[in-house]
Copies of this chain bind each other. A is one copy, B any other.
């Protein structure tokens, strides 16, 4: 686990989008954030108080999180002196960059000298078991998509937020880098060795109270030939009781795969249920989450209403409308 609270390092982010990891942390777990640290020329602002390393340390920050992505995912030399100062002051560092903290000799040496931890959340930190398929107590919800990058993480985080507000027992279970940084723990599933994928998902979602929900972050798509094996491991390792179908209605082909059509929501429903029943015969599809960011308000509402009528399932865009109706569907199970 990464120690919270965080100071969010935005570096010299050239625009707001470059700081989307920091923004995600600030949006979903403001309690994990003490402030933001911006270098000269930084064009991003996630809305947290600007702080120096010293001020944030005094306010209780434990970890400096690199919440900005460079082109190529490298650790900029401009950042190095801040990172080294942070280690000397007693901060741990956490990063989801492709360029690992542990591959930078000066950071490794400083972390060793000051007894601090370097968290590279792209790399699994645990030796996961092979999945054993044993039925676990507690309940689990997984979003599955017609394609990659259709809003599965957003859906799970929005449901988690709503369930916390209702004081329903729930835990968001991250399976990707951003999610891990948001909460401080999880599994970087796309970096796990093939034989241990499903086992890592079992490890992430252990036995729990009967009325507790794990909200498992989805990855990939059963219909995306590059990543379908990862999705399969989530379905069989996660043993979901509830599935949410996720979709983005404006794509003309699968992400990164010209010539591959998106499946219908019906095809996604039928295939996901069939596969999920292998691990949990009682699994149900409980709702649909649509990312309508590229539709006007009118078109979005019309699309949601049409889909709801066609599929007979509560259908929402959690960004426009919140995840309340999806949580209602979980609560009704």
Contacts and interface: CB of A to CB of B under 8 A. Distances in A.
Interface of A: 130-133, 189-195, 197-199, 222-223, 225-233, 236-237, 254, 256-257, 259-260, 271, 274-275, 278-279
Given A194-B197, A225-B237, 14 more contacts: A133-B257, A133-B259, A189-B194, A190-B193, A193-B193, A194-B229, A195-B230, A222-B275, A225-B236, A228-B233, A229-B229, A229-B230, A229-B236, A271-B274
A204 to B, nearest CB: 14
Contacts of A199: 226
Given A133-B226, A223-B278, A257-B133, A193 B195 contact: no
Copies in the complex: 2
A85 B131 CA distance: 41
Contacts of A130: 226
Contact of A226 (B131, B227, B260): B131
Contacts of A131: 225-226
A254 to B, nearest CB: 8
Nearest to A129: B226
A191 B194 contact: yes
Contacts of A222: 232, 275
A182 B133 CA distance: 32
Nearest to A195: B190
Contacts of A271: 274-275
A190 B194 contact: yes
Contacts of A225: 131, 133, 198, 236-237, 278-279
B194 A230 contact: yes
A198 B133 contact: no
A74 B112 CA distance: 33
Contacts of A237: 225
12 contacts: A133-B225, A190-B194, A190-B195, A193-B194, A194-B197, A195-B226, A225-B236, A228-B275, A229-B229, A229-B232, A229-B233, A232-B232
